[in-house]
Structure 1
Amino acid sequence: MKLTINMAVLLAVVLVLLIRRKVQARSRADQTMTLAVAVIFGVLIAPTDLGQGILDTTGDLARTISDAGAP
């Protein structure tokens, strides 16, 4: 039996656990680690279909907001 782990899923779980911690003073190292995990997660998910869907949805939302603000 071969066990495989998808790194994007693993990083998503780690990121959720880091963000859901109690709100309290965090050290600079903790903030840096959370930022690094978030950036790596973004890089891993970007070329996937899910990442492209998120990009398209975000772009459509930004265009809608921009068009609503234009006279």
Structure 2
Amino acid sequence: MDMQLGISVSAVLGIVIVLRLMRRTEPRSRFDEKLSAFLCVAFGVLIAATPWGHAILRLAGIAARATH
């Protein structure tokens, strides 16, 4: 039950992040920038324990080894 809740919260948070990033590029307040950073970090923490998060970590490791 907890995993289903975590996945649905991360899905909603991912949608919110995408919608915020789709806005026009214009000067933003510091609060707006901090909120965006907080949402991205929270999203990363939520997906880290999922199989999708593990796959992203593996791909990032492969990319890091390829560029090293």
The answer to whether TM tops 0.5 is yes
Number of the residue aligned with 1:49? 51
In structure 2, C-alpha distance between the alignment counterparts of 1:22 and 1:7, rounded to whole Å: 26
**In terms of Rg, which structure is larger?**
1
Q: How many residues align?
A: 63
Give the 5 Å matches for 1:1-71.
6-66=8-68
TM-score normalised to structure 2 length: 0.88
Which runs of 5 or more structure 1 residues have no equivalent in the other structure? 67-71
- Name the structure where helix makes up a greater proportion of residues: 2
Large movers: runs of 4+ above 3 Å: none
CA RMSD after TM alignment: 1.3
| Identity across the alignment (%) | 38
Which runs of 5 or more structure 2 residues have no equivalent in the other structure? none
Higher RCO structure (Cα 8 Å, ≥6 apart): 2
In structure 2, C-alpha distance between the alignment counterparts of 1:35 and 1:21, rounded to whole Å: 15
In structure 1, C-alpha distance between the alignment counterparts of 2:30 and 2:16, rounded to whole Å: 18
TM-score normalised to structure 1 length: 0.85
In structure 2, C-alpha distance between the alignment counterparts of 1:17 and 1:35, rounded to whole Å: 14
